Amino acid sequence: MFGQGFERILADARRGDESAWTSLYLDLAPVVTGYLAGQRCPSPEDVTSEVLLQVVRDLHRFDGDEAAFRSWVFTIAHHRLIDARRHANARPAEPVEDQVLERHAPTERFEDAALGNLGIGELEHLLVATTDEQRDVLLLRYVADLSLHEAAVVLGKEYNAVKALHRRAMDALRAHVASNAYPHGLPRALTSSR
């Protein structure tokens, strides 16, 4: 809770001040994640990210004091919780364990093989499209050749959080390769393997 300084932090955040956003994040992220985890939300860390992203997008619409702000944030969190539960209920009633799926899945997808065969320079051209956390996961997965479970241990994160980071990173790479920003003339990029 910020008390007297809330109005200043809110105004600074609206102007795009990074330290104000950091303060808001550090205040909100743990309590939102705790709320979602206590509600048995599937992937509370992912849903917290969605909540905070919506806060960033819609902050210009908010009007009120700190108590109203926290109520607004938790209203967003509650709606995202409902969405996450609906999404989880749309899945099969008895989900298969991740280890079983990994054992029966093809051992290597095309993208995995392509990333594993890139040189450091080629990999750098791709990694510009990822966040630092996504980069950590990709480097542990494809350069250090660790499984996602092993990468989760190294990073001190839950397996599902690392899996989500990996999925988002791969989506970012696909979008980057399809964009004009990617240097398509590079030899042995994602379009070929060694």
What pLDDT was estimated at residue 194? 33
Element (H, E) at 1: none
* Domain count of the fold of the chain: 2
What pLDDT was estimated at residue 108? 43
Q: Is residue 137 part of a domain?
A: yes
What pLDDT was estimated at residue 158? 92
CA distance 91 to 21: 35
Q: How confident is the model at residue 189 (pLDDT cuts 50, 70, 90)?
A: very low
Q: For residues 77 and 30, is the Cβ–Cβ distance under 8 A?
A: no
Q: How confident is the model at residue 150 (pLDDT cuts 50, 70, 90)?
A: confident
What pLDDT was estimated at residue 105? 46
What pLDDT was estimated at residue 98? 55
User: Which of 89, 113, 133 finishes a domain?
Assistant: 89
Domain extent at residue 16: 3-89
Side-chain-side CA neighbours of 109 within 13 Å: the count stands at 9
pTM of the predicted model, to two decimals? 0.48
The verdict on 146 and 165 lying in the same domain is yes
What pLDDT was estimated at residue 181? 65
The verdict on 54 and 115 lying in the same domain is no
Structure tokens of 21?
A: 């956003």
